[in-house]
C-alpha cells in the first residue's frame, strides 16, 4: 500500500510544485492505486472543494423560520458521491463565545444548546447542506459559518442573519443615567428586546433616530445618535453622526440603554374601555380581553412594522405611559413620527388607557 507523507511546511521551505492544504504539504507514492475511497488521489489530482453561501445579509423576524443557504461542489465534478462531515456554528461577537449549532455526517446529526429541537439540515438536493432555524429568538441574529469537511480537506462559507427590528432608547423609572451595563441588559429583556448592537444603532441613525442621551450598546460601549447637532448634544459645530464615549466599565458606570426589538407575530392594540385606568386596573383589563399588557419593545415594533397610530396615551408593562404616532397631526405632540412618552406617572392615577398585546 502506498504511503501518504505529511511534511510540515516549516521543514520544506523549498519544496515547490506540491499541493498546499491547511498549512501542510502533501505527497503521495506513484504506486498508490488503492487509497480507500480514493480521497487522497482525487485531491492530489487537482479536485477542489468549493463551498457557496450568499453574500447578502438575510433579514427575518422573531418567531419566524429561516433557511441559511449553504451548498458545496467539487471542481471538476466527481462521478461518485462522497461522505462529508458538516458543521455549523455561530461566530463570536461583542465578547460572546462561539456557539456550536449542528454537526452532521450523512443522515446522522446532532444539535447543541439552545438550538436543540430548532435546527436541521435541508438535504433535499445533492450537496445542499443549508441550515433551517425555527422559532427564531432575539439572540439568534449574527454570523454563522458553514463548514464542509472531506477527509483532510475542508472549506467554509459565512452567512449573516439579521432580524428586522427597531432601536429605541430606554431610561430607568428613576431617571436619566441610572443603569449599569448588566441592568441595561435586564431592562431590555423585560421589555421584549435585547441591547442593540452598534450596527443596529447606526442603521437607526441612518433612518432618522436623533437622541441626545448616551446609552449602552451590546459591546459595552456608550454612544448616542445625532441627526441635528445642537448645544446640549456635543455642540452645534460637530457633524451629524453616532457619537461615542467608548468602552465603559460594565458595573461601575451608569447610563441609559439602547434596546432592539423585532417585528411581532402578535398584535398590539389600544384597548377601548369606558373608563381611564390605574396601572393595576390596566393589567387586569388586558387579561379580561384575553391579552397581556404590552411591553415597550412590543409597542415600538407595532409602531414601526404594523403602522400602529393612536393619539391615546396608555399604560405599558413597565409602568410607563406612551402612545405611537405614524402620521403626526395637530394636538398629538411633535410634528415627527415616533412613540411619545409621558414618563412613569403615579401608578394609581386614572388618567390613561392601556395598550394590550395578543399573540396570534
Averaged over successive runs of 10 residues, the pLDDT of the chain (360 residues) comes to 35 31 28 34 67 94 91 89 92 83 92 95 88 92 95 92 94 96 97 93 95 96 95 87 96 98 90 96 98 97 95 97 95 92 96 94
Identify the pLDDT of residue 32.
34
* Residues 203, 159 share a domain: no
Identify the pLDDT of residue 94.
67
Q: Is 173 helix (H, G, I), strand (E, B) or coil?
A: coil
Identify the pLDDT of residue 82.
84
Residue 58 CA, chain-centre distance (Å), reads: 11
Domain annotation covers residue 274: yes
Q: Considering just the CA atoms, what is the radius of gyration of the chain in Å? A: 27
* Residues 281, 240 share a domain: no
Q: Domain boundary at 200, 234, 261, which?
A: 261
Identify the pLDDT of residue 288.
97
Domain annotation covers residue 29: no
Domain annotation covers residue 220: yes
* Residues 87, 103 share a domain: yes
Single pTM value for the model: 0.75
Identify the pLDDT of residue 139.
86
Domain annotation covers residue 210: yes
* Residues 146, 60 share a domain: yes
Which grid coordinates are listed for 255? 447610563
Distance from C-alpha of 238 to C-alpha of 215, rounded to nearest angstrom: 19
State the residue range of the domain holding 82. 48-163
72 contact partners, CB below 8 Å, separation of at least 6: 49, 50, 51, 52, 84, 127, 129, 148, 155
**Which whole-number Å values give the CA distances from 283 to 48, 194, 299, in the listed order?**
62, 23, 15
* Residues 158, 52 share a domain: yes
Domain annotation covers residue 31: no
Count how many domains the chain has.
Answer: 3
* Residues 147, 62 share a domain: yes
* Residues 282, 248 share a domain: no
* Residues 158, 76 share a domain: yes
Among 315, 316, 321, 281, CA closest to 297: 316
Identify the pLDDT of residue 46.
78
Amino acid at each position: 500500500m502506498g504511503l501518504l507523507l505529511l511534511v510540515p511546511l516549516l521543514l520544506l521551505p523549498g519544496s515547490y510544485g506540491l499541493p498546499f492544504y491547511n498549512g501542510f504539504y502533501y505527497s503521495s507514492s506513484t504506486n498508490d492505486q488503492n487509497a480507500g475511497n480514493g480521497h487522497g488521489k482525487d485531491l492530489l489530482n487537482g479536485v477542489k472543494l468549493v463551498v457557496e453561501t450568499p453574500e447578502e445579509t438575510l433579514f427575518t423576524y422573531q418567531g419566524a423560520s429561516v433557511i441559511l443557504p449553504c451548498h458545496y461542489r467539487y471542481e471538476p465534478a466527481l462521478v461518485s458521491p462522497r461522505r462529508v462531515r458538516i458543521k455549523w456554528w455561530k461566530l463570536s461577537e461583542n465578547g460572546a463565545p462561539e456557539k456550536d449549532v449542528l454537526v452532521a455526517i450523512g443522515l446522522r446529526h446532532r444539535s447543541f444548546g439552545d438550538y436543540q429541537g430548532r435546527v436541521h439540515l435541508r438535504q433535499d438536493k445533492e450537496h445542499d447542506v443549508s441550515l433551517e432555524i425555527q422559532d427564531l429568538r432575539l439572540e439568534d441574529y449574527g454570523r454563522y459559518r458553514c463548514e464542509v469537511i472531506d477527509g483532510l480537506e475542508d472549506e467554509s462559507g459565512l452567512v449573516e442573519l439579521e432580524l428586522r427590528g427597531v432601536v429605541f432608547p430606554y431610561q430607568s423609572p428613576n431617571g436619566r443615567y441610572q443603569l449599569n451595563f448588566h441592568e441595561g441588559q435586564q431592562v431590555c429583556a423585560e421589555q421584549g428586546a435585547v441591547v442593540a448592537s452598534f450596527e443596529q444603532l447606526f442603521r437607526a441613525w441612518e433612518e432618522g433616530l436623533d437622541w441626545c442621551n448616551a446609552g449602552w450598546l451590546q459591546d459595552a460601549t456608550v454612544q448616542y445618535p445625532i441627526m441635528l447637532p445642537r448645544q446640549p448634544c456635543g455642540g452645534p459645530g460637530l457633524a451629524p453622526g453616532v457619537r461615542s464615549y467608548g468602552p465603559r466599565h460594565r458595573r461601575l458606570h451608569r447610563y441609559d440603554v439602547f434596546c432592539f426589538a423585532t417585528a411581532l407575530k402578535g398584535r398590539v392594540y389600544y384597548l377601548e374601555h369606558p373608563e381611564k385606568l390605574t396601572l393595576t386596573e390596566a393589567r387586569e383589563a388586558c387579561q379580561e380581553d384575553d391579552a397581556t399588557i404590552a411591553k415597550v419593545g412590543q409597542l415600538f415594533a407595532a409602531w414601526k412594522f404594523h403602522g400602529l397610530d393612536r393619539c391615546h396615551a396608555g399604560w405599558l408593562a413597565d409602568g410607563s405611559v406612551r402612545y405611537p404616532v405614524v402620521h403626526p397631526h395637530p394636538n398629538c405632540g411633535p410634528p415627527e413620527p415616533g412613540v411619545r412618552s409621558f414618563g412613569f406617572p403615579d401608578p394609581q392615577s386614572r388618567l390613561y388607557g392601556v395598550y394590550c398585546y395578543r399573540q396570534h
